[in-house]
Every structure is written in structure tokens, then in C-alpha cells.
Structure 1
Amino acid sequence: MYAVPDASPTPADPRGRIVAVVVTFDRLALLQRLLPVLLAEPRVAEVLVVDNASTDGTGAWLAGLGEPRVLSRTSAENTGGAGGFHDGMAWALERDADLIWLMDDDAVPLPGCLDLLLERDDLDFWGPAVVAEQDPQRRLCFPIRLPGRTRVVHDLADVEAAAVDGLIPGVVIPFNGVLVTRDLVERIGFPRAEFFIWGDDVEYLWRAERAGARIATVVAARFSNPATDDLGTPMMFGRTTYNHTPSELKHYCMARNNTVNLRTYRGAVFVLAFWVKTLWFYAFTRPRPARIATSARAALAGLRGDFTGHRRYLR
């Protein structure tokens, strides 16, 4: 049941106008869970919801909501998270946002998250520790590689132990409760809409790095997101990990977009290493010859600059 909290925005926040952007697709119940949490934040001036052509009644529900702090747009077609955040961030600038708070529909900021993030005034692109909804006190939702280390960590305790002045510098999980300044968006632009899903967030992070953005995770701030055991699957006798997904759509986009990102920001050696890992994973770790063929098609499409191939997997 959706209920509007008894909260109203402050007339003028010292950090400027804060606008939340939510991208949603066919998860009305989760959106109905998230919106009251955002509306209970008095520092959020508006919540902009980008509905990616949902078919579950989301558009009609949003149209009849009648909450002045919530604005919504329903896309003519599903443009994926990449297209949704591209359009949502552009919309936020049109709405005079000074800070944009980005998130998907299935996540929830935990109490105090935004206030803890806003305590930092020395960052351009920063976010909370993203914890697994199933075990928020101990487990990260997305495994991360800490600065200066080769090991990927999954436990919140490892992140807390590595924090410097409450931060993990240079590390953030993009589009999961992150804040980005208007100045940075105006300098580097919007996410690449053609990526559709998987890799658009990494590309935006690496683009921000290249532009000299100040990036960090605020460890005390927490953001809950449903976790999957497939991310960070160990391979090569535990020496590294691979982001496996059972979804053909997600894998195709990941293989294509990761090829593009690595070639653009890291170089040919990293592209080759990614291809070797993909071949090894689906030949030995989880043998699936058909997935190797899909990976090859996606990687070649990325090298050609063809961002249409994922459409065959849409339903």
C-alpha cells in the first residue's frame, strides 16, 4: 500500500536543489515501496520517475498519483537503464537540480543515507555502501575491488576496515544511490543511452575519472539492493572472478559494452584479458558453448560500434 509521508521539502537546502531520479520497468510493487522513502526525505525537492514503457500499470499509477513532488514520464519504448538515466539526468538539469540522486526502482536508501552523503562537500560523484537486501549488516550487494588491491571483496567488514576518513576513495557503485553534481554532468554529459544495460554505469564512472572528478564511497551511508550470487563468480582456481548472469540480454550487453569500455579507457591488453576470461568461464567454469558464441557476436558488435544486437533478446 502506498502512503504519502507527512513531510515537506525545506525551502532552501544549503547544498542546493536536490532532485532524485528513479528509473523503473515493470516493477510497480517495488516502486511503490521506494517512493514513500524518498518522499520522507525533506531535502529532496522532487522525485523524477522515468518509466521505461512498463506493461504492469506503472504509467497509469504514476499518472494518478497526485503527489506534487513526484513527476513522471513514460517512454515510448524500453530504453534500458542506460536510456532511462540518460533521459532522467537531462530532465533533472531542466528542473534546475544542483545535485542529482540516482537509483533503480528495486533499491531503498536506509535511514540517514542521504544526510550522511550530504555531509561531504568535497566530492563530485559519490555514493553509499550498497548492501545486500538479504543480509544488509554483513554483505555487499556488488563485489568491489578496493584501491591498490587485487582481491575482490564481498563483505561489508572489509570495506569498513579499508576506509580512510570514512571513505573509499575512487570507488563508487554508479546509479545505486549515488549523488552527482550539476557541474560534473555539465562537464562530462549523460550516460550512453545506446548501451541499454550493463556497462553504462562503468562507462560513466570511467569518464568521470578521466575528467578528474572526485569520487568516493561514503562507508557509513547505506543503500539496500537485492543481491544475486552470480556476480563475482570465482574462476581460474579462485584467482579472479566473472560477472555471470543467466540472462542472455544482460550477458550480450555486458560482453559488448565491456569490450567498448575497455578499449576506450584501458587499452587492447585489457580487452584481450576480458575475452580470455569469458572463454575460460564458459568453457571450463560453467561450460556453455552457446554463451561463447553469443559473447563473440556481442564483442564484435562492440568493436563495430553496433548497438542494435541486444534487441533480439527483448521480450
Structure 2
Amino acid sequence: MVGRVRVVAVVVTFDRLDLLRRLLDRLAEVPELDEVLVVDNASTDGTGEWLAEREAAVTGLRSHTLATNTGGAGGFHAGLEWAMRRDADLVWLMDDDGLPEPGCLAELLTRHGELDFWGPVVVDEADPERLVFPIRLPGSLRTVHRVTDVEAAALDGLVRDVVIPFNGVLVTRELVERIGLPREEFFIWGDDHEYRLRAERAGGRVATLPGARVHHPSVGELGTPMMGGRTTYNHSPSELKHYCMARNNTVNLRDYRGWPHVLAFWVKTVWFYALTRPQPGRIATSARAAYAGLRGDFTGHRAYLRR
């Protein structure tokens, strides 16, 4: 407990029981937490059964298994709504594959009252000086990949106007009440970014604290250089992730940045899969996904789910 502030963690999990065990062991050691809520996205690896046993034995742990896999977007929608019902003042949001350093939450809480939506740097667990998710520095076209670059960009211990959502971020109850819940229909990829954009549009105070860290497995080729290194593209080998990224990013750009930015994204997509990493099929997939999103159809990703 931090003063009279009630801090609740929300963890979304799917078929990664070993990683979930590791994370919950760490969260059990965080004294500032009042409660941990785990949303199980209909896992098939015994997660639900294990959670039921652990919940019975551990004070402050609650779990809920969803009827179907709703993706990270649906999981965080359900989890954040649940935390609000549990009277959380601050909610600490994270996936099952992250691992906060022992003092991460304590460091974040030093900025309580100053910020509305803020989080740590997310570092590669195999190389803790490397960012898992590259950061484009505010007011710049520069994208950085090392913790030292984020630290150098900080003023008064903060990099304002940037955060990597849903990877150990804190959000205030007041902001949630103002902007609502994550867009569950996005399934994965872009739901966290949309939530940050919505927070910014509502005047939310957003920042990253380089002094707080969450360790995370490498995610591969985010920020792949293209056009001679003048820009980057978020390539994923997963067809599911790519479909959702093309669809959801198109919608986010239309809603928050405007059609010129949508066009620029489409040009980059065609360039990347025609020239940088030739995969003509990806261009067709991207077009289908973007068109579906613009029509408000958020069902196409189901064709890529494991059966």
C-alpha cells in the first residue's frame, strides 16, 4: 500500500505458463502492490487450473479465465474493467512475458500525482542495455535502440510524451474514467498504441522513466531499417501479427494522424515487401487487412488463429 493509494496489477496471459509462474513469483515480492488480477485468455496449457490452485493459496491474487481467446486487446479491456470494479486507484498493466526489476514499481510510484500514464523502459532480457521496443524520441525522427540513448534524452529523469504501453505501465483511475477501456476488437497489435494516443488526445500526462526497467524476451525484427536506413518498418514473421498490425495501424493513423500518414504507411508497406524484404503475398495481405479495418470489420484475424 502506498499511502491511501490502492495499486492493482493486471496481467494478461495466454499459453505461457512457465513465464506466468516467473512473473507471479516476482509480483509476490513487490510490497507496493495491493492485488494482482490475472486474465487468462482461454489458455490450453493448464494455466487456468494452475491459477485456480495458486489463487487458493496466495492472498491478493485473483484470476479469471475467459471463454475464448480475445487477444491482448480483449484481455486488457477485461482486466482494466475488472481493476476499476476492484476500486484500483492505479493499475499496473503487463503481459505474461515481462519481468519487472524488483524496484520497478517503487521507482514508477515516485512520479504519482505528476503523471497519468507512465512506464519503464522495456529491455531485452538477453542484453539489458538494448531496448526490446525501439523508441522514437519526441519531436524527432530519431529512433533509438539502446537504454543509454533514452537516458541521454531524459530531462529530470523523464522522457515525456512517450511510453511503451501494457509493458509495466501505470495508469490512473481518473484517466481510465476519462478515456475508457482499450479497444478489444483490435485483438493484438496497435491496441496499446491507440490507448496511448487516446490518452494524449485527452490531455493525459505521458512519460517513460529510464530508471525503471522491465525485462522482456526479444521480439525479433521490430524497427527493421529500410530505404537505406532513412526509416524503419515493424516486420513480424507472424501472419497473424502482420494482419493485425496492417489493419489496426491503418485505423489508428486515420483516426489520430490523418490520411497523409495512412498513405505514407501504405507506401512503406509496399516498399518493404517489394524491395527491402520481398514477400509479394504480404502486400496482398496488408491490403485486405487495411480495407477491412477501414470498413470497421475486425474479424479477419480469426483466419490466422491456431486451430
With the length of structure 2 as denominator, give the TM-score of the two structures: 0.98
Q: Which residue of 1 aligns with 2:32?
A: 43
The answer to which of 34-43 and 208-217 deviates more is 34-43
C-alpha RMSD of matched pairs (Å):
0.7
> How much has 1:228 moved relative to structure 2?
2.5
Matching residue within 97, 121, 128 for 1:129: 121
> How much has 1:129 moved relative to structure 2?
1.0
Q: Secondary structure at the match of 2:174?
A: helix
**Unmatched tracts of structure 1, length 5 or more:** 1-9
The answer on 1:28 being equivalent to 2:17 is: yes
Q: Which residue of 2 aligns with 1:55?
A: 44
How far apart in 1 are the matches of 2:276 and 2:3?
52
Q: Is the 8 A contact 2:220 2:236 kept in 1?
A: no
The answer on 1:152 being equivalent to 2:143 is: yes
After TM superposition, which residue ranges in structure 1, 4 or more long, deviate above 6 angstroms?
A: none
* Deviation string, structure 1 residues 262-303 (Cα, Å, up to 9, x no partner): 000000000000000000000001100111100000000011
User: Relative to structure 1, is the Cα distance of residues 233 and 205 closer, same or farther in structure 2, using a 3 angstrom cutoff?
Assistant: same
With the length of structure 1 as denominator, give the TM-score of the two structures: 0.95
**Unmatched tracts of structure 2, length 5 or more:** none
How far apart in 2 are the matches of 1:97 and 1:63?
22
Q: Secondary structure at the match of 2:197?
A: helix
User: Relative to structure 1, is the Cα distance of residues 15 and 274 closer, same or farther in structure 2, using a 3 angstrom cutoff?
Assistant: farther
The number of equivalent residue pairs is 303
The one-letter code sitting in structure 1 at the alignment partner of 2:234 is N
Q: Secondary structure at the match of 2:253?
A: helix
The one-letter code sitting in structure 1 at the alignment partner of 2:305 is L
> How much has 1:69 moved relative to structure 2?
1.1
Q: Which residue of 1 aligns with 2:3?
A: 14
Q: Secondary structure at the match of 1:64?
A: helix
Q: Which residue of 2 aligns with 1:200?
A: 191
How far apart in 2 are the matches of 1:308 and 1:228?
25
Q: Is the 8 A contact 2:30 2:102 kept in 1?
A: no
How far apart in 1 are the matches of 2:70 and 2:139?
36
The one-letter code sitting in structure 1 at the alignment partner of 2:12 is V
The answer to which of 144-153 and 163-172 deviates more is 144-153
User: Identity of counterpart residues, as a percentage?
Assistant: 72
